[in-house]
Amino acid sequence: MPYRRLPNTDSARLKSLKSAYERGKDLPPFKLAFSPTSYRKIQSVLPGFENAIYEHRNSLNIQADKNKEYQKRLKKARLYISHFIQVINMAISRGDLVPETRSFFGLEDGEKKVPSLNSEEEVIKWGQQLIEGEQKRKINCLSPITNPTIAVLNVHFDKFMEYHNYQKSLKKRSQRAQEQLNEKRSEVDRVIQQIWNEVEHTFNELPEEMRREKSAEYGLVYVFRKSELGNANLFQSPRIEEIG
């Protein structure tokens, strides 16, 4: 016997709500297979659910779109930070700078390698340390690092931080949209289940095949088990489909 399957995707939930809503618009209350109370619930939750779906998808699309430029800014900031540290180490190797210069920037004494810049946090950490270190050197009237200068590095670092903070705000927006959508889903699932229960109860006395056909008009979905697929042609309603 085919079994009832409640919607498990947002598009399926929306389709189910709209099917029931359209029946409620087309039929007078005394001919409707579910209660006027349930119809009012559909009218209440449908607009909010549609809006929550749109807001969630829109926030994710914006975040993905802006992430392309953010990654460019991150790559550029990482490159300038790496070059600045390499210049320091090469100048020390040539004798143009004393080894103690590294301490201004939080670099370990004798460490000639560029520190890890793989994560965003590491890029932020070293960008800030280099800018602060060069400011300390300037206060001590020491010759500035050049090619690149800290001013050029600062421009790219500031631009990266601007995009970094913007991405954080977009991520928070997406998270809020996800939470709101989750709340709406729970509410919608309860409404759909109530409607489906009422519809099946209304048609309970009908023969099984007719009961499923009538219920399908209200958006109910029945799924044949694998062992029953050979008999699926006994019921050919276009409304019978599997939601996945």
pLDDT at 147: 93
Could you tell me if residue 3 is left (phi over 0), alpha (psi between -120 and 50 degrees) or otherwise beta? beta
Examine residue 242 and state whether it is found in any structural domain, yes or no.
no
pLDDT band at 4 (very low <50, low <70, confident <90, very high): confident
Examine residue 243 and state whether it is found in any structural domain, yes or no.
no
CA–CA gap between residue 18 and residue 12 (Å, rounded)? 10
- Phi/psi at 34 (5° precision): -130, 170
Examine residue 48 and state whether it is found in any structural domain, yes or no.
yes
Q: Please give the structure tokens belonging to residue 229.
A: 């697929």
pLDDT at 229: 60
Examine residue 240 and state whether it is found in any structural domain, yes or no.
no
pLDDT band at 3 (very low <50, low <70, confident <90, very high): confident
Examine residue 63 and state whether it is found in any structural domain, yes or no.
yes
pLDDT at 236: 44
Examine residue 119 and state whether it is found in any structural domain, yes or no.
yes
pLDDT at 173: 96
- The H or E element containing residue 154 is helix 150-202
pLDDT digits 0-9 by tens, 103-148: 999 999 888 899 999 999 999 999 999 999 999 999 999 999 999 9
The length of the chain in residues reads: 244
Examine residue 126 and state whether it is found in any structural domain, yes or no.
yes
Across all residues in the chain, what is the average pLDDT?
91
- Pick the more confident residue, 198 or 242: 198
pLDDT at 242: 37
The domain tally of the chain equals 1
pLDDT digits 0-9 by tens, 209-234: 899 999 999 989 988 777 666 555 54
Lowest model confidence (mean pLDDT) among 67-71, 194-198, 208-212, 239-243: 239-243
pLDDT band at 157 (very low <50, low <70, confident <90, very high): very high
pLDDT at 2: 76
Residue ranges making up the domain that contains 151: 3-234
The amino acid that residue 60 corresponds to is: L
Res. 90: pLDDT tops 80 = yes
114, 120, 122, 124 alpha-carbon torsion, rounded to 10°: 100
Examine residue 96 and state whether it is found in any structural domain, yes or no.
yes
- The H or E element containing residue 222 is strand 222-223
pLDDT digits 0-9 by tens, 11-69: 999 999 999 999 999 999 899 999 999 999 999 999 999 999 999 999 999 999 999 99
Q: Please give the structure tokens belonging to residue 199.
A: 């519809």
